[in-house]
Structure 1
């Protein structure tokens, strides 16, 4: 089947758009995962500090 120039251009545009969307989605997901891990680390540090402070007050 012979594709017209318009069909080829549309197919190329769709491929490029999908690639950009996929790349952007991956980047956003990586940023979200990093933010989640940073938040988890901050919460863990806060819990540890609270537990240490509670242990000091208990003495």
Structure 2
């Protein structure tokens, strides 16, 4: 097992993480992040789809 100093630092880290997770600002940030997923997915699909369509159109010319 670790010594007392290591255990105290682990406890401090856990407490800090818990404080961050409980913080109302974190909840707002998580919600905003979740709401932006469809937009991010749209950008991803558009970024992949547009080059594919351009190649297809060029091949059909």
Q: TM-score range by the shorter chain?
A: 0.5 to 0.7
Q: Which has the higher contact order (CA 8 A, sep 6+)?
A: 2
In structure 1, runs of 5+ residues without a counterpart are 47-59
Report the TM-score when normalising by structure 2. 0.52
CA RMSD of aligned residues (A): 2.3
Q: Deviation above 3 Å: which 4+ runs of structure 1? A: none
Report the TM-score when normalising by structure 1. 0.53
After TM superposition, give the deviation of residue 11 of structure 1 in Å. Answer: 1.2
Q: 1:43 and 1:15 mapped to 2: Cα distance?
A: 42
Bigger Rg, structure 1 or 2: 1
